[in-house]
Amino acid sequence: ATPMSVMVGVGKAAESGVLIRNGEALQAASKLTTMVLDKTGTVTKGQPQVTHIELVNASDEDHVLMLAASLESGSEHPLAQAIVASAQARGLATQTLENFEAIAGHGVRGTVAEHSLLFGNERLMREQGVLIEPQLDLAQQLAAKAQTPMYFSIDGELAAIIAVADPIKDDSVAAIKRLKENGLRVVMLTGDNRATAQAVAKQVGIDEVFAEVLPKQKAEKIAELQAQGEIVGMTGDGINDAPALALANVGFAIGTGTDVAIESADITLMRGSLHGLADAIAVSKATLGNIK
Ligand code: ADP
Ligand code: MG
């Protein structure tokens, strides 16, 4: 494309809230064969809410939630914010957190009121030797309803399963349909539970899911698709997504996402809507068409 037609294309995209950082990205957008979408904050709103608390070996729900929220006060993960907000809504005051540690792709650990606490996924509990087998069925049922079940243990014993759900953005279904109409292979990429991710994918019309992917493995999944010959677009909002956004042929950041994601991407969707993807592809096609 001529520099002039690229400039016009970039300007046109900006009118619909799609900020294109460079001309190469604009030209590459129409050549994509696969679009990879992060789940939380990209397909969904990134505002999870607590939907279920199941006590196990414990009887005081407020006390358990208070301990969990005290632990999560150390974390910046959207899941943590859901737990803290739920405790606040009940007027529970958190206590001092010590020895806090976030374990990427697993969850968090720390000490509150001299109790040693763990909060996270099945993988975290298995690695720490916490018995969860009797609760796996319940966790699976919650996941099948598109909720993320998390395990909370106090002093090495499971105390509760706490599930959260993150609502799907209003226009994700329509935007994903447009991508498929453009002939793109659409894939979901997430660190979340497999059954949860599959349930969300089904609701938005995505057939292919890479779930339970550790943060450091997200970029490897992009490389795998590229090795299959795909020209890959990646859309994400999190720090976790940054290496994948940088490696993709075109990286798309959600404008309300983290600065690191925006800096790693070629194109930013200012409105947060996934319609920006098909909009960018349309502008790209029009721009390249202009010079034929
Ligand atoms: P993603 O951002 O794609 O959901 P992460 O790697 O951040 O992936 O998280 C993967 C999983 O690890 C979460 O679904 C959750 O089960 C667990 N996890 C991560 N952070 C926390 C946290 N602060 N509290 C509880 N669980 C967490
Ligand atoms: Mg995300």
Per the DSSP assignment, residues forming a β-bridge with 36 are 187, 234
192 is catalytic: no
Query: CATH homologous superfamily of domain 49-165?
Result: Calcium-transporting ATPase, cytoplasmic domain N (3.40.1110.10)
Report pLDDT for 40. Answer: 95
Q: Using pLDDT thresholds of 50, 70 and 90, give the confidence band for residue 28.
A: very high
Which range, of 11-20, 117-126, 154-163, 233-242, averages the lowest pLDDT? Answer: 11-20
Q: Using pLDDT thresholds of 50, 70 and 90, give the confidence band for residue 12.
A: confident
Q: Which amino acid is at 101?
A: E
- Sign of the four-CA dihedral 203, 207, 210, 211: positive
- In 10 A of CB 170, how many CB atoms? 10
- Taking every pair of C-alpha atoms in the chain, what is the biggest distance, in angstroms? 71
Comparing CA positions, the residue from 102, 108, 68, 74 lying closest to residue 88 is 68
Among 70, 150, 152, residue to substitute to test ligand 1 (most atoms within 8 Å of Cβ): 150
Calculate mean pLDDT across residues 120-135. Answer: 97
Q: Ligand 1 atom closest to Cα of 41?
A: 2
The tally of CA atoms less than 13 A away on the side-chain side of residue 123 is: 14
Q: Selecting from 1.25.40.80, 3.40.50.1000, 3.40.1280.10, 3.40.50.720, what CATH number does the domain 3-45+168-290 have?
A: 3.40.50.1000
Q: Where are the domains of the chain?
A: 3-45+168-290, 49-165
Calculate mean pLDDT across residues 34-53. Answer: 97
Joined tokens for residue 220: 């490897």
* Distance from the alpha carbon of residue 171 to the mean position of ligand 2, in angstroms: 17
Report pLDDT for 80. Answer: 96
Do residues 161 and 130 lie in contact, with contact meaning Cβ atoms separated by under 8 Å?
no
Quote the CA–CA distance of 86 and 197 in Å, as a whole number: 23
Calculate mean pLDDT across residues 256-272. Answer: 94
Do residues 163 and 50 lie in contact, with contact meaning Cβ atoms separated by under 8 Å?
yes
Instruction: Give residue-wise pLDDT tens across range 58-80.
Output: 999 999 999 999 999 999 899 99
- Asked if the model's pLDDT at residue 230 lies above 90, the reply is yes
Closest residue (by CA) to atom 20 of ligand 1? 107
Angle between helices 194-204 and 172-181 (to 10 degrees): 80
Report pLDDT for 290. Answer: 60
Do residues 35 and 274 lie in contact, with contact meaning Cβ atoms separated by under 8 Å?
no
Joined tokens for residue 280: 């960018």
Instruction: Give residue-wise pLDDT tens across range 148-158.
Output: 999 999 999 99
Report pLDDT for 292. Answer: 46
- Asked if the model's pLDDT at residue 291 lies above 60, the reply is no
- Give me the chain's average pLDDT, please: 95
Quote the CA–CA distance of 59 and 55 in Å, as a whole number: 7
Closest residue (by CA) to atom 8 of ligand 1? 191
Closest residue (by CA) to atom 13 of ligand 1? 192
Joined tokens for residue 206: 């995505």
The ligand that comes nearest to the alpha carbon of residue 74 is: 1
Calculate mean pLDDT across residues 166-182. Answer: 97
Report pLDDT for 249. Answer: 97
